[in-house]
């Protein structure tokens, strides 16, 4: 399972210091900088969010570095806008969209995300969530054979890069469906 996040650094002079902390926290990672915004990908680390919170705390208290971190289900320029709205905190996409769900801009962005997922994929996700994350029940709900449903899930993951097995991603997608209805 891949975990992804954006990191916004207040001062680019601290990139090397932040890179050192990241290296200590994550034995294996991909990191890409674009000015003061980093994209980080870590594979198979269930403590990803806790480690990012530790990164945030260590950067501030040990080195006086101000940063914001947004844990995202997929990399998308929409999330960078929300990263910039954070006030030196660590949040998931679900948390920030939930906070701002009554905002017109957030509703518009939720519509954009929903459209990018596609109607077939939305129906697949909706059934999965309705059936309490039970793939066999979701297949029955959609009148599909379980292998056909498995194919749809694989197609969904390939087309969107959303991780169908990640609970935070499913929460985020449920919120997107709620905001857009």
104-180 CATH: 1.10.10.2840
- Indicate the domain borders of the chain: 2-99, 104-180
Strand order in the sheet with 2-9: 30-34, 37-43, 2-9, 67-72, 90-92
CATH topology match: 2-99 vs 104-180: no
Looking at residue 92, its pLDDT comes to 97
Looking at residue 13, its pLDDT comes to 93
User: Whats the size of the chain, residue-wise?
Assistant: 181
Looking at residue 148, its pLDDT comes to 95
Average pLDDT for runs of 10 along the chain of length 181: 95 94 94 97 94 95 95 96 96 97 96 94 95 95 95 90 90 96 86
Looking at residue 71, its pLDDT comes to 97
Looking at residue 165, its pLDDT comes to 86
CATH class, 2-99 region: alpha beta
């Amino acid at each position: 399972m891949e975990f992804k996040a954006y990191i916004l650094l207040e001062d680019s002079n601290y990139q090397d210091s932040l890179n050192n902390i990241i290296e200590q926290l994550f034995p294996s990672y991909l990191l890409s900088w674009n000015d003061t915004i980093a994209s980080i990908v870590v594979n198979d680390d269930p403590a990803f969010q806790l480690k990012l919170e530790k990164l945030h705390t260590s950067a501030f208290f040990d080195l006086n570095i101000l940063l914001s971190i947004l844990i995202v289900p997929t990399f998308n320029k929409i999330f960078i806008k929300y990263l910039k709205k954070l006030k030196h905190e660590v949040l998931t996409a679900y948390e920030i969209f939930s906070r701002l769900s009554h905002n017109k801009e957030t509703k518009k962005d939720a519509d954009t995300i929903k459209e990018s997922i596609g109607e077939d994929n939305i129906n697949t996700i909706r059934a999965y969530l309705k059936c309490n994350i039970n793939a066999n029940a979701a297949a029955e709900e959609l009148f599909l054979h379980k292998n056909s449903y498995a194919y749809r899930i694989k197609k969904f993951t390939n087309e969107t890069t959303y991780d169908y097995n990640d609970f935070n991603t499913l929460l985020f997608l449920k919120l997107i469906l709620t905001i857009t209805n």
